[in-house]
Structure 1
Amino acid sequence: MKSYFSNATETTADDSNVTSPLGGANVAPRSSALSNRLTSVLSASYADSDIRDALETLDIRGTHNTPETRRQLRLDVQKEVISCNGKIVADFGKVAAQLKQLGSVIVDLQQICAEMRKHVSLSKQETAAVLDEASTLIEQKSETETKQRLLDAFNKHFVVPEEDLNTLVSSAEPVDDHFFAILARVKQIHNDCQVLLGGEDQKLGTEIMEQSSKQLNSAYQKLYRWIQKEFNSLNLEDPQINSSIRQALRVLAERPSLFHSCLDFFAEAREYILSDAFHHALTDTVSGAETDRSVKPIEFSAHDPLRYVGDMLAWVHSAAVSEREALEALFVNEGDELARGFKSGISSEPWSRVDGEEAPVFDGRKALNDLVNRDLSGVSRSLRQRVELVIEGHDNPVTTYKVVNLLAFYKITFSKLVGPESNLVEVVSALVDSTFKHFEILMRDQAHIYSTDPHSTTPPDDLSVPQFLADQLEVLTSLMKEYNASVGATSDVKEQEENRFTPVLRVALDPFLDIAKSSANDLDDTKASTIYKTNILLAVRTTVSSFTFASATHLVPISNVLSNMRMELLDIQRQFLLGTSGLQKLLTALEPFSQHHSSKAQSESTTTRTQNLAEIADLAAFQPDTLSAISQQLDDFLPSALMDATDNLKRVRNLSLVKSVTEEAVEEFCRDFEFVEGIIIGADEARGTKVDMSRIEMESDIVSVSVRGTQIGGDEAEAEGKHSLRALFPRTVGEIRVLLS
């Protein structure tokens, strides 16, 4: 392009220098046209796409910018355009020829299609009936296939194959997992019949339900017979119940009548087996392949009732534990499953419950206890017979009571093991009562023997406890030790119930104590009788107080009686001191005055009282010779008074009691002496006899006599015929207390 424009510029410049042939007149217009053209060229925008395309076309053509070329350019271009148009026309001619050929082909196709439409229309008319029939057949096929699928599904769900039915009801086929699977399927079919019964046609549902019911009944009967057969050969001594039996019982629980009948059969079988085993344990070693020489039959120890009964109870306890452990896996671990089966079975057996009552609920632990109890019913009967037989032939009360405690212990143990309402507990409880009654009979017979034998109940010379009572106290001690070692003492404390040992005391102590007390009537001496009774009560109290359960009921009554005996002993000691000292004579003589003085001392005047006291000197006991003799007797008594008083009760078998009674008796003796002393001093003052105040100190509180301190000479008293009582009886209460302390 540069060359083209440069050439054009140069050409234009040359043209400008050319002199117009027309001369100078044409120079101005030519110059003006050139200027316009240049202005037009220069004002053109070379950014225009058309110009750019034209310039590129010129550049491609390789046209040189020469005057000749510029003059021929338009013609060349028009020539080329014409040439191109001619080629185009020629090409369109070819296209037109081809289009003509295509048109003829299309016309031929249209003719062919028309003919084909005619043929199709004819064919459609001819095949319409066939197509309708084919559509009908297809619909029928679809319906048939649907019915076939329904039939297959129905047969698969509601129809049990013949071989499965044979497995379900035939006794020759085993009871295994396949049997339970078929049984579950039949039960499902029976339940699903409710859907069929809800339709319009109930005949099919009724037939299938009736058929499935027959199949289920046959299956349950087969299962029932199979379980009975397994129970006959089942060994509960060592292994647990296997899974098949547990599963079979879970399924059979859906028929409560068969389930209970099966349990009844099992209980009868186990009762026979356990009874036979108990018999073997009693008479021979346990049956087995080899005999254990070290195990001896229980009957070998029948001579020892305690060991014999203990061995039998231990065997029964071991059997009960083994039986419970073997059956616990079934009734406790499988209790929920059995309860659900039992609940669902009630609806299928509505006759199993009474009208108006709720459906019974299956309790696994109660069923376990009941079954174990029924299994041991035969053993319980044998146990009762043998225990009663051996107890009736035994006459040792201590051993009998030990058997009572042993039975009571096992009663509590069996109550925890098989329930307090079980037959086994009732049997043991009855044995406890019967054995204790036999113990009471033995005690009463022994007491009757002693009561009818005067020689054995005669009080000993030393007034000690009679030998029969001492022996009985030893028996009672053994009984209390046995009871204390048993569970009875603990249960009494915990349960705060009536003391269970009280009946024992009533038969083992009270009758013998009454016999011993009544034997005291054989003693003519009241003192000996009192000492004898005291020794008996002391021995009984010592024995009973060693145990709380025994002292709770008998210690207080015995202590009360002993208190009365102590008062009698105190009176005996007091009478002994008064009689030995001679003071009793003075008290006897002063008894009217003491009663008169004590009752009227507050109301009488001093003069009257003085007159009464003055009369005492006229009493026989207060005459000089008599009073001097009594005073001398008192002086002889005082040095050994305590020893003599203690020796007076030496046959009492309790030194502390003797000491306390003696001390109290001495105190009462001192009060009596103080009374007599006061009366003597008052009598002397009332009579006006001489009283030596430096020697005698008046201490009496009974008679308030004011001693003036005047002394009357002995000669004056003798001249007047009066004697001084105080001079004849000079001892003071202070001296007495010192000498007897």
Structure 2
Amino acid sequence: MNYTSRDYLRDDDEKTTSVAGQRSVALSNKLSGVLSVSYADSEIRDALHLLDLKNVQNTPDLRRSIRSDLQKDVIECNSSIVREFGQVAEQLKSVGSIISSLNACCEDVQRQVAAARQENLPILDEASTLLKEKDDVEKKKQLLIAFNKHFVLPEEDLMVLTATTQAIDAHFFAVLDRTKQIHADCQILLGSESQRLGLELMEQTSRQLNSGYQKLHRWIQKEFKALDLENPQINAFIRRSLRTLAERPALFENCLESFSEARRHVLTDGFYNALTGSSANSDPTMKPIEFHAHDALRYTGDILAWAHSATVSERESLESLFISEGDEMAKGIRAGRQSEPWSAIDGESFDGRKALDGLVNGNMTGVARALRQRIEQAVQSQDDSVTVYKIANLISFYRVTLTKLLGPDSSVMEALSALEDVAMSQFKALQSDQTATVQGEFTQAPVDLSVPDILEEALTQVKALMKSYESSLTPVGSRENDFKPILSQTLKPVLDSCDSLAKDLSAPAIDIFLLNCYGSARATLQPFDFTQWLVGQIDQVIASSTNNLIDYQHAFFLHVSGLHSLLIALTPLTGSDEDLLQVPHLAPFQPAALMAASQTLDEFLPSALIDALENLKRLNDTKLAGEVTSEAADRFCADFEFVETRLADVDEIVAAKEERGSSSDDDDDEDGGEENGRDPDRVKVQRDEENDKVPLRSFYPRTSGDIRVLLS
């Protein structure tokens, strides 16, 4: 603050006598100065704070003495501080003397320590060397412990791996995996300076691994003897054991051979038990297969169904046992072949599915032999060719089905292929005998021209064969060629015999008989798509016989109606006027003959269709008989139109000629009328000329429209 309170009071007294204007200016200046002071200044705040602490009262006396009072307080404070610093100085002097004493003692101790160190220096060096050696020994100890822990099996683990009294469990596989890891890690030692140690450890772990695999091999063989593949809950340790044993291909193959032999006996015994029902465990509600031995087809079907069921069950069981996710078995085989290169066969890679097919095939070998023997006996004892063929188709069905499970080269496939050949040979032999018998008994056609009984039997047999073949699994593209020999042996000889018998018949019986026979054969073969080659040949015969019947019916219409003679007379003539003028002089077109032909036509038309159909009454296909008669009637109508047209043309030409010569004819009649009346020849010529003037249509009045209506 620039002014004290006392200064302000003094100034006020001095200015009481000044002019009022100057006083007011000074006062305003002071006020401006006071108001311009910043009370936010730290010094101002500290001063005000001190005044508050002293509890100063704002009085005129106090304002006059406040400065001196404050200065007095400052002096007192300074003197108090000086006295206190004097005491501190005295204490510091005493501390300095004490520090000097301590420094002297420390120097004495240092001299003593240096002397002691000089004396103990050899001992310290020796101790340092011993401590370093101790650290080295400790490191070697830790390294040895770690090495033994990693590369050496504990005694208890070694007992689990090799001792036969110890069971195969998860601990065994853990120890085996650790031993394999040790054996693999020994290769690192071979690449270092410790080659001898690596070789010794590898030899040791190899012996331990061999002992472990031998133990595992014996345990698996033991388990296989009591293994029930029908139980879906197969021991998981067996599957794991097989995948582990696959790392030793020789032991694995030996184990599979033993297992396959055991399964072969089990399946063969199961097959004979199913045949005879002699097992104590057989279901009493299920009849043995041989109970139906009198029915060869069912007997064969039951045997093949049992074989299929056994194959599927065996494959599914072995697949769950030997085929694992991730191809673990194949990985084990590959690892084993790498460790035992001599065990690889031609360097081929292991195929799990192929190995499974081979195992199932080996297991089914005994069943295949027994199955072939039983079915072959059933086939050879049959004398019904249809039954034998159904058996052959049944065998073919199961052969195709089992091929997908066992492959084409399995023993079961060989047995089924051989059985199929035996069945087809038996069928061909029976069919040949039956054909020879038929041809010997088939000497003449039936009187009513119906289908012979022998053909009916053949068609019934062929229909049964076709239905059986239709259910087979033969590819669609090869069905026709595959079934062609069957039709050639069964139906074709009988149809050929029908052709031979038809040659001894006369028309129309020959064609009616052929249509009856071939129509029945076509109706039997048509529904099947693999018989179209023979249906095509039959269609040709039917078309030829149908045309022959149409020709016969056409000839019947011509002869019975009397139109034949007229048509024969007109056919050689052309449409020229000269040829047409000859028509009235032809014998069939003389008035009497033409009227007789017209009378014959009128008598024929009312019953023409009935009489024509009577000719085909022995034709079994009445629809075909109607179509043949209708076609013949159409031809007859066309022939009638031809005759009608020719007669109309003749009448037209004759009328034109008569008009041209009418005038000259009248003159000749007036000059020689009497003479003509007296000459008989002249009279006859005149009568003929008069007849020529009569239109031919007047003697033969029927129109083609009438004919079509009556024959429709």
TM-score after normalising by structure 2: 0.77
Alpha carbons 1:46, 1:52 under 8 Å: kept: no
Alpha carbons 2:229, 2:317 under 8 Å: kept: yes
Alpha carbons 2:242, 2:322 under 8 Å: kept: no
Check 1:395–1:43 CA distance in 2 against 1; reply closer, same or farther (3 A cut).
closer
Could you say which residue in structure 2 is the equivalent of 1:505?
Answer: 487
Query: Does structure 1 residue 299 correspond to structure 2 residue 290?
Result: yes
State the one-letter code of the partner of 2:696: R
Alpha carbons 1:246, 1:330 under 8 Å: kept: yes
| Cα distance in structure 1, aligned partners of 2:152 and 2:509 | 107
Higher mean C-alpha displacement, 183-192 vs 346-355:
346-355
| Cα distance in structure 2, aligned partners of 1:530 and 1:55 | 164
Q: Structure 1 residue 464: deviation in Å? A: 0.7
1:139-166 CA-to-partner distances (Å, cap 9, x unmatched) read: 2222222112211211121112344334
Higher mean C-alpha displacement, 147-156 vs 303-312:
147-156
Could you say which residue in structure 1 is the equivalent of 2:34?
Answer: none
Alignment of 1:448-597 (within 5 A): 448-451=436-439, 453=440, 455-484=441-470, 486=471, 488=473, 492=476, 501-523=483-505, 525-545=506-526, 547-550=527-530, 552-588=532-568, 590=569, 594-595=571-572, 597=573
Check 1:410–1:475 CA distance in 2 against 1; reply closer, same or farther (3 A cut).
same
Q: Structure 1 residue 193: deviation in Å? A: 0.8
| SS of corresponding position for 1:463 | coil
Q: Structure 1 residue 362: deviation in Å? A: 3.6
Check 1:208–1:663 CA distance in 2 against 1; reply closer, same or farther (3 A cut).
same
Could you say which residue in structure 2 is the equivalent of 1:673?
Answer: 640
Could you say which residue in structure 2 is the equivalent of 1:413?
Answer: 401
Alpha carbons 1:580, 1:637 under 8 Å: kept: yes
Alignment of 1:79-94 (within 5 A): none
Could you say which residue in structure 1 is the equivalent of 2:32?
Answer: none
State the one-letter code of the partner of 2:116: V
| SS of corresponding position for 2:285 | coil
Q: Structure 1 residue 42: deviation in Å? A: 8.0
Choose from 650, 654, 676 the match for 2:617: 650
Check 1:710–1:243 CA distance in 2 against 1; reply closer, same or farther (3 A cut).
farther
Could you say which residue in structure 2 is the equivalent of 1:737?
Answer: 708
| Cα distance in structure 1, aligned partners of 2:638 and 2:425 | 56
Check 1:388–1:46 CA distance in 2 against 1; reply closer, same or farther (3 A cut).
same
Rg comparison, structure with higher value: 1
Alpha carbons 2:553, 2:632 under 8 Å: kept: yes
Check 1:675–1:362 CA distance in 2 against 1; reply closer, same or farther (3 A cut).
closer
Alpha carbons 1:169, 1:215 under 8 Å: kept: yes
Choose from 116, 119, 127 the match for 1:120: 116
1:564-619 CA-to-partner distances (Å, cap 9, x unmatched) read: 1111001111222223233334444x2xx623x34xx5xxx634x345435x52x4
| Cα distance in structure 2, aligned partners of 1:180 and 1:163 | 14
Query: Does structure 1 residue 613 correspond to structure 2 residue 583?
Result: yes
State the one-letter code of the partner of 1:675: F
Query: Does structure 1 residue 175 correspond to structure 2 residue 168?
Result: yes
| Cα distance in structure 2, aligned partners of 1:154 and 1:669 | 119
Check 1:645–1:188 CA distance in 2 against 1; reply closer, same or farther (3 A cut).
same
1:49-93 CA-to-partner distances (Å, cap 9, x unmatched) read: 676428999xxxxxxxxxxxxxxxxxxxxxxx9xxx9x99xx99x
| SS of corresponding position for 2:327 | helix
1:296-326 CA-to-partner distances (Å, cap 9, x unmatched) read: 2211211111110111112112212221232
| SS of corresponding position for 1:295 | coil
Check 1:727–1:720 CA distance in 2 against 1; reply closer, same or farther (3 A cut).
farther
Q: Structure 1 residue 246: deviation in Å? A: 0.7
Alignment of 1:68-83 (within 5 A): none
Could you say which residue in structure 1 is the equivalent of 2:184?
Answer: 191
Alignment of 1:110-189 (within 5 A): 116=112, 120=116, 124-125=118-119, 127-189=120-182
Check 1:111–1:42 CA distance in 2 against 1; reply closer, same or farther (3 A cut).
closer
Alpha carbons 1:624, 1:728 under 8 Å: kept: no
Choose from 308, 330, 348 the match for 1:317: 308
State the one-letter code of the partner of 2:496: D
Check 1:706–1:250 CA distance in 2 against 1; reply closer, same or farther (3 A cut).
farther
Check 1:457–1:266 CA distance in 2 against 1; reply closer, same or farther (3 A cut).
farther
**Percent of aligned pairs sharing the same letter:** 43
State the one-letter code of the partner of 1:520: A
Alpha carbons 2:182, 2:205 under 8 Å: kept: yes
Choose from 439, 442, 464 the match for 2:427: 439
| Cα distance in structure 2, aligned partners of 1:639 and 1:301 | 67
1:239-269 CA-to-partner distances (Å, cap 9, x unmatched) read: 4321111111111122233323322322222
Alpha carbons 2:449, 2:618 under 8 Å: kept: yes
Can you give the 5+ residue segments of structure 2 that lack an aligned partner in the other structure?
1-63, 670-676
Could you say which residue in structure 1 is the equivalent of 2:56?
Answer: none
Alpha carbons 1:505, 1:550 under 8 Å: kept: no
Can you give the 5+ residue segments of structure 1 that lack an aligned partner in the other structure?
1-40, 58-80, 692-704
TM-score after normalising by structure 1: 0.74
| SS of corresponding position for 2:129 | helix
| Cα distance in structure 2, aligned partners of 1:717 and 1:271 | 120
Could you say which residue in structure 2 is the equivalent of 1:639?
Answer: 606
Query: Does structure 1 residue 252 correspond to structure 2 residue 245?
Result: yes
| SS of corresponding position for 1:526 | coil
Check 1:173–1:113 CA distance in 2 against 1; reply closer, same or farther (3 A cut).
closer
